[in-house]
Amino acid sequence: MATDNKRFSEKHVAPADGRRARQKRGEKRRDARQTASVPTEVEAAPLPDRKPVKPAQKSLRERRQERHRRRLRREGIDPDRPDSRVRPMGVVWISWRWLSASLTVMLLVVLYILLATDLFYIESMAVGGERYLTREQIFQASGVANKHLFWVDPAEVEAKLEENPSIADAQVYIGWPPNMISVLITERNPVMTWQQGDFRVWVDANGIVMFQREERRDLVLVNYIASDEPLGAGATIDRNIIAGALQLKSMFNNIDELLYDDIKGLGFEDGRGWTVWFGTGTNMEMKVAVYDRIVVANPDTLFREIDVSDHDHPVFVERFPTE
């Protein structure tokens, strides 16, 4: 028993009442927290020795770039300058600003030449197909004198030329200097000469009247004996008159001149001393046959006039009528 008490007294404190014991335990816990909150200086242990880290090996692309940079530096070009451009040797670089400025200047020069100079103003033309008309007359009739090439309409010039009674067809071609305009015309072919008094004109197969350009003995001459005003260029004559005159001329080659009357039609002075009238149209052969029968049937009659314009009812007038 004594031994047990002695062991207890060495290792343990005698128990106190409960309140006192709780206070002591609380004080111990507070002391422990305060002790834990105070930092303590701990001597850092030395780091173990480490081997130096080798730099990562550059890629193939990076090595090529580096070699390229060194080559540029040897040529006197700094590749690290941000504002500089690396230009390959032997290659000529053109600035787009200079190129656009040059094009603008060239266009302005071209516009000046086209619009402000006399180079594209028409002062003459190349003409082909003319026979009776002169080039000056055709150029005047075209209406393009002193006109700018860009304002010329070929169809309008063709219509203008075809208004000329002597031109049957016109073709206009636009080109560049010096022959900016070329014209190919087809003139009307006259088949008859129409005379009123001392004024003569030509007439083509369609009856269109045009100016007489020269004397042509091969054309049939028709003398209009009325007192009307002479026909001007551009007027028309009935085609039946033309057809009848051509037929009579082919049947009587020795006749130099035919007559025309508004009522009796075409006729001529017979060498035997009278005038014969055949009218118009294409049935001249029948009328000539009637005329021949009248002359043959009256060999002793001196006619003053024979009218077979209506071959069904021919009329003749004697020079010396007998009662």
| pLDDT average, residue stretch 160-164 | 93
Residue 172 has pLDDT above 90, yes or no: yes
For residue 306, what are the domain limits? 190-318
The identity of residue 58, as a single letter, is: K
Angle at 210 between CA 208 and CA 216, to 5 degrees: 110
Q: What is the pLDDT of residues 83-119, one digit of tens each?
A: 555 556 666 667 788 888 888 888 888 777 777 777 7
Residue 257 covered by a domain: yes
User: Whose CA is closest to 300, among 286, 319, 279, 280?
Assistant: 319
Residue 286 covered by a domain: yes
Copy the structure tokens of residue 170: 């016109």
C-alpha radius of gyration, the chain, whole number: 63
Instruction: Point out the domain boundary residue: 149, 166, 187.
Output: 187
Task: Kindly report the backbone phi and psi dihedral angles of residue 36, in degrees, each rounded to the nearest multiple of 5, phi listed first.
Answer: -70, -30
Q: Average per-residue pLDDT in the chain?
A: 83
55 prior amide bond cis, ω within 30 = no
15 contact partners, CB below 8 Å, separation of at least 6: 21
CATH of the domain at 246: 3.40.50
Residue 8 has pLDDT above 50, yes or no: no
Regarding whether 303 and 246 lie in a shared domain, the answer is yes
Regarding whether 249 and 173 lie in a shared domain, the answer is no
Residue 317 has pLDDT above 60, yes or no: yes
Which stretches of the chain are DSSP H helices? 2-11, 18-37, 60-74, 96-116, 135-142, 154-162, 239-251, 284-297
The band of 45, judged by pLDDT with boundaries at 50, 70 and 90, is: low
